[in-house]
Structure 1
Amino acid sequence: MESGGVKLSLWEDGPKPGHFYSFPGSSSSGPGTACGPVRHTLNPMVTGTSVLGVKFTGGVVIAADMLGSYGSLARFRNISRLMKVNNSTILGLFSHQVAAFLLSSFLGYVDKLGVAYEAPTVATGFGAYLAQPLMREVVENKVEITKQEARELVERCLKVLYYRDARSYNRHEIAIVTEEGVEIVGPLSSETNWDIAHMVSGFE
């Protein structure tokens, strides 16, 4: 395009007025494809739900379930979302973001926007609403928390998430980081009880 003899390079390869931009490498071609069906499901994104972390005396416990979802479809049921980086660092993967738990001597969180903070308990996803209050209640009422107490706490929170979060799954891993190094335990499953499920009604 030229305007008064000046070449406007910004719009040189751009769309014509009223048309859509044709991205390089896209399969659509021709003028009629702009009005075709939306095909988001041809490239679905695998997402995960909550990652939990609790700091205890001498280390950190991190837990996540092993489900990878396509929207509401429980597609992959054996994905490890805890990754050992080295003997003092674990990454917990959450959706297309990374919740980073850097564990030399602290528990921290970093999201895709660069928001970062350090805390004695961390939870992502729906766990930020359901599990975080449970973890804070235990940690804030104790001067010190042991490794066993921290592990039992995240297991309890994972069970609550399995009951209450539709994108959660009853198969999980737990990572324990101490001065001795990183230990990833699992896959594990929580004992569940659905005896009162027939009594839940009124929201159909």
Structure 2
Amino acid sequence: MNHYPEVWGRPRDDVYGSYNPSYLQTSGPKTHTQSPAVTGTSVIAVKFNGGVAIAADNLASYGSLARFTDVKRLRIFGDSAVVGFGGDVSDMQYIDRLLESIDIRENYSAHGNTLNAKNLHTYLSKVFYKRRSEFNPLWNHILVAGFDENKNPFLSSADLLGTTYSAPHLATGFGAHLAIPILRRLFPEETPIEKISKEEAEAALRECLKVLWYRDARSLDQYSVAVITSDGIEVKENQQIEAQSWAFAESIKGYGAQVN
């Protein structure tokens, strides 16, 4: 090996010849990532009277390893929309850069119009579908929360296939199995959103995140929550799930040294 600092780690040219990268070129088929590496889990959102509340924990897992514990998976777009990301973190970062470029272009435009949450969701669903059609999907499942063109609360999802779905409360990942039943119990389908307060929506999200912390091995007890209202977007980061303790296990017979 050549030990001069400017070429550390490279073989010596006078011994092995100059480096030839031609072996990296191939005439074979172009390949894409077939499975995500670093992923985030559930995103949960609820409509309420006058807005939408959305929450996601701060964990990014490398397989089954809780690798990164400070990854914010809620992104603010403009003044009235929030995008929550589940799935691959690198694809989330790609979409985040895409949204940032759109936001800059919107702010510098002369027409004065800005994308609302419904417009943003339509755009992202087309991006997902395009990438899926190219057999190079973005491995994400997102929730878009905010307002539509009529200033009504808007909440909808889009996944890696470009499939879209709207409902008064939505969740991605494992939350679709654990959080949605809780939200349906707290807010039955016949309950109009006008009867759901902001405080009730936030409390429901905290309850769902607590259940996910106990039941989902890819979740964390620290989370971020965003509340979108006509007054703007309020974001609370690095929130802690209260009363999250496994101390109750000590009272279970047969646990540890307790046998009676």
Q: Does 1:125 align with 2:173?
A: yes
Greater share of residues in helix: 2
2:28 paired with 1:62: no
Q: Relative to 1, partners in 2 of residues 1:193 and 1:114: Cα closer, same or farther, differing over 3 Å?
A: same
| Separation in structure 1 between the aligned mates of residue 196 and residue 224 of structure 2, nearest angstrom | 20
List aligned pairs for 1:112-151, cutoff 5 A: 112-140=160-188, 142-143=191-192, 144-151=195-202
Q: Which residue of structure 1 aligns with residue 157 of structure 2?
A: 109
Partner Cα distance (1:119, 1:179) in 2: 20
Partner of 1:193: 245
Counterpart for residue 81 of structure 1:
73
Q: SS of the residue aligned with 1:122?
A: strand
Change over 3 Å in CA distance of 1:201–1:157 after alignment to 2: farther
CA distance in 2, matches of 1:47, 1:113: 17
Match among 117, 131, 155 for residue 206 of structure 2: 155
> In structure 2, what residue type is equivalent to 1:70?
Y
2:218 matched to 1:167?
yes
Q: Deviations over 1:104-136 (max 9, x none)?
A: 121111111111111000000000000010011
Q: Which runs of 5+ in 1 are unaligned?
A: 1-12, 15-20, 25-39
Q: Which residue of 1 aligns with 2:101?
A: none
Mapped pair 1:93 → 2:85: yes
Ranges in structure 2 where 5+ consecutive residues have no aligned partner: 1-25, 89-139, 148-152, 256-260
1:193 to partner: Cα distance: 2.6
CA change 1:90–1:44 in 2 (3 A) is closer
* Alpha-carbon shift at residue 23 of structure 1 (Å): 6.2
| Per-residue deviation, 1:180 | 0.9
1: CA distance between counterparts of 2:64 and 2:229?
Answer: 36
**Distance change >3 Å, CA 197–CA 44, structure 1 → 2:** same
- Deviation string for 1:37-66 (max 9, x for gaps)? xxx9xx972100000000000000000000
Q: 1:150 aligns to what SS in structure 2?
A: helix
8 Å Cα contact 2:42-2:174 kept in structure 1: yes
CA distance in 2, matches of 1:179, 1:99: 22
- Indicate the SS of the match to 2:247: coil
Mapped partners of 1:147, 1:122: distance in 2: 16
1:8-54 superposed Cα distances (whole Å, 9 cap, x missing partner): xxxxx75xxxxxx4869xxxxxxxxxxxxxxx9xx972100000000
Deviation sequence 1:66-105 (CA, Å, 0-9, x none): 0011000111100100000111111101012041314112
| 2:145–2:228 CA contact under 8 A, matched in 1 | no
Deviation at 1:177, TM superposition (A): 0.2
Q: TM-score, normalised by structure 2?
A: 0.59
In terms of mean alpha carbon deviation, does 184-193 or 124-133 score higher? Answer: 184-193
